[in-house]
């Protein structure tokens, strides 16, 4: 594909992007329908679209989409070759919207990470963790030894960074359910839950089931997981993924997040992977930097605390409550944890990872820590 054809194809996609139609959504639709394009050509188009939004703050908005796109690709090439070519003050002024600076500490390391293309992470079912890196190739395990209390017991890593060019969805291993595409930060949420075989868990905002499937694997498919979501389409996708992974110890139910719960079951553990502003995904989804607003953050924070309030009484005494959001704003992270702790004296903060007395009950994953999404995790134990 020539450069001019690439620019034109990517520009057509960019012109369709809006707050209601995010870049990744438009890309999936357009590239999925373009059966004549090679996988490498689709990757180049996606790279161009994401680079455009990554460098949006540097672009002349009076120029045509093609000219702006060419400028963005040039900036990306220069930055990839020499990150120091973009000065810290330029990153501070242009890489993120001004309102974010009142919601979180913005460091040079964080901003530099945002301007890099994101890595692809996969989660391998535990029984295949030793074999898959050999068969798939181009896999690197993260160093998680820096996380207090997280023990992998010397077992092969089930989290792998994939740097190859193969279309993973077409591999026999994916089609057999050997692995899932799942960011490392999301996998850490499963490890924070630390469910045990035979327990009963509730994944309250399960979406398409990425964390539900991880919980099932950690439980050796023994016990029961309730997986709820307000969107029936997401639950249909969850069922499809679960069938591929040979996971059957779950119940998928519709729940709108309100006070009328889908079950009277008392759970050993509850995961509230709440809707959020997604600021932690801005490296992977740079378009969202320019469509997310402070109003979004405020409204989502109200939903988050309400979700925690609504599910709290469904936890058994001694049970574990995990709150996780792929955002980094104060309003959706520490402020929510503070409010829940203050208003629920029957719950005490618990270590996020493991049972170490020195381990924190709140944990931030920053994009620059592991080249993964940003995430906030808080943990509580219900008092007996």
Catalytic residues: 326
Round to whole Å and give the CA distance between 180 and 69. 32
Q: According to the 3-state scheme, what is the secondary structure of the chain?
A: CCHHHHHHHHHHHHCCCCCCCCHHHHHHHHHHHCCCCCHHHHHHHHHHHHHHHHCHHHCCCCCCHHHHHHHHHHHHHHHHHCHHHCCHHHHHHHCCCHHHHHCCCCCHHHHHHHCCCCCEEEEECHHHCCCHHHHHCCEECCCCCCCCCCCCCCCCCCEEEECCCCCHHHCHHHHCCCEEECCHHHHHHHHHHCCCCCCEEEECCCCCCHHHHHHHHHCCCCCEEEEEECCHHHHHHHHHHHHHCCCCCEEEEECCCCCCCCCCCCEEEEEEECCCCCHHHCCCCHHHHHCCCHHHHHHHHHHHHHHHHHHHHHEEEEEEEEEEECCCCHHHCHHHHHHHHHHCCCEEECCCCCCCCCCCCEEEECHHHHCCCCEEEEEEEECC
Closest CA to 334 of 311, 361, 354: 361
Rounded to 10 degrees, the C-alpha dihedral 281/284/289/291 comes to -90
Beta bridge partners of 320: 269, 381
């Amino acid at each position: 594909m020539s450069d001019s054809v690439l620019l034109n194809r990517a520009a057509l996609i960019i012109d369709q992007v809006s707050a209601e139609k995010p870049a990744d959504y438009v890309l999936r639709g357009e590239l999925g329908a373009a059966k004549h394009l090679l996988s490498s050509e689709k990757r180049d188009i996606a790279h161009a679209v994401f680079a455009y939004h990554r460098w949006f703050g540097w672009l002349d908005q009076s120029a045509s989409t093609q000219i702006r796109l060419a400028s963005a690709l040039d900036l990306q090439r220069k930055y990839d070759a020499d990150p120091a070519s973009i000065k810290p003050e330029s990153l501070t002024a242009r890489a993120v919207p001004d309102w974010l600076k009142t919601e979180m500490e913005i460091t040079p390391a964080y901003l530099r990470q945002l301007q890099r293309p994101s890595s692809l992470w996969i989660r391998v079912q535990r029984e295949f963790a030793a074999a898959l890196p050999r068969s798939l190739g181009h896999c690197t395990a993260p160093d998680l030894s820096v996380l207090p209390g997280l023990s992998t017991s010397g077992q092969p890593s089930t989290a792998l960074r994939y740097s190859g060019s193969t279309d993973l969805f077409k591999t026999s291993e994916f089609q057999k359910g050997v692995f899932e595409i799942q960011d490392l930060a999301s996998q850490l949420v499963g490890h924070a839950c630390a469910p045990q075989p035979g327990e009963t868990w509730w994944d309250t905002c399960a979406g398409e089931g990425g964390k539900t499937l991880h919980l099932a694997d950690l439980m050796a498919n023994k016990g029961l997981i309730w997986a709820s979501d307000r969107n029936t389409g997401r639950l249909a996708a969850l069922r499809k993924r679960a069938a591929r992974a040979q996971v059957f110890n779950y119940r998928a139910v519709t729940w709108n997040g309100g006070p009328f719960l889908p079950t009277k079951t008392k759970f050993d553990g509850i995961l509230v992977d709440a809707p959020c502003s997604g600021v932690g995904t801005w490296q992977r989804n740079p378009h969202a930097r320019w469509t997310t607003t402070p109003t979004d953050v405020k409204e989502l924070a109200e939903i988050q605390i309400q979700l925690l309030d609504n599910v709290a009484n469904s936890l058994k005494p001694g049970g574990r409550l995990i709150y996780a959001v792929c955002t980094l704003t104060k309003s959706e992270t520490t402020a929510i944890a503070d409010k829940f702790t203050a208003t629920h004296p029957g719950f005490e903060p618990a270590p996020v990872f493991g049972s170490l007395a020195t381990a924190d009950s709140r944990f931030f994953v920053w994009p620059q820590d592991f080249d993964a999404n940003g995430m906030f995790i808080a943990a509580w134990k219900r008092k007996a």
